[in-house]
């Protein structure tokens, strides 16, 4: 169980150099994953690998309202191979994309 929890909070080697949460977001994510309220980030990144191709340059865990009453989501900024930066919101409970914005 301890190993499974450690893996749930560790981003796979593929993503390790690309993404990390700030300490407060990481602690909050650990708690919410442990409570089974959200999916582990690794799971979300694996489920959305095609959508999220490129280098993650910013990653935050955000919420609308209190976490037990509002939506919790990952906000990502992604540098595409063509140099474009895209922003995504991915629902942390379901792993489903919420929104995508293109930036120049």
Name every residue whose Cβ is closer than 8 Å to that of residue 82 and which is 6 or more positions away in sequence.
Answer: none
Note the pLDDT tens digit of each residue in 3-24.
Answer: 433 333 333 333 443 455 667 7
pTM greater than 0.75: no
Note the pLDDT tens digit of each residue in 45-99.
Answer: 999 999 998 999 999 999 887 655 678 999 999 999 999 999 999 999 999 999 8
Identify the burial level of 35 via C-beta atoms within 10 angstroms of its C-beta, where 0-12 means exposed, 13-18 middle and 19 or more buried: exposed
Note the pLDDT tens digit of each residue in 39-58.
Answer: 999 999 999 999 998 999 99
């Amino acid at each position: 169980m301890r190993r499974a929890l450690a893996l749930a909070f560790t981003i796979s080697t593929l993503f390790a150099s690309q993404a990390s949460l700030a300490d407060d977001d990481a602690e909050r994510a650990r708690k919410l994953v442990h409570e089974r309220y959200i999916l582990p980030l690794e799971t979300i990144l694996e489920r959305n690998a095609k959508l999220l191709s490129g280098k993650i340059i910013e990653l935050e865990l955000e919420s609308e309202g209190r976490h037990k009453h509002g939506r919790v989501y990952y906000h990502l900024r992604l540098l595409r191979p063509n140099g474009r930066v895209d922003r995504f919101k991915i629902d942390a409970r379901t792993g489903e994309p919420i929104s995508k914005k293109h930036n120049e």
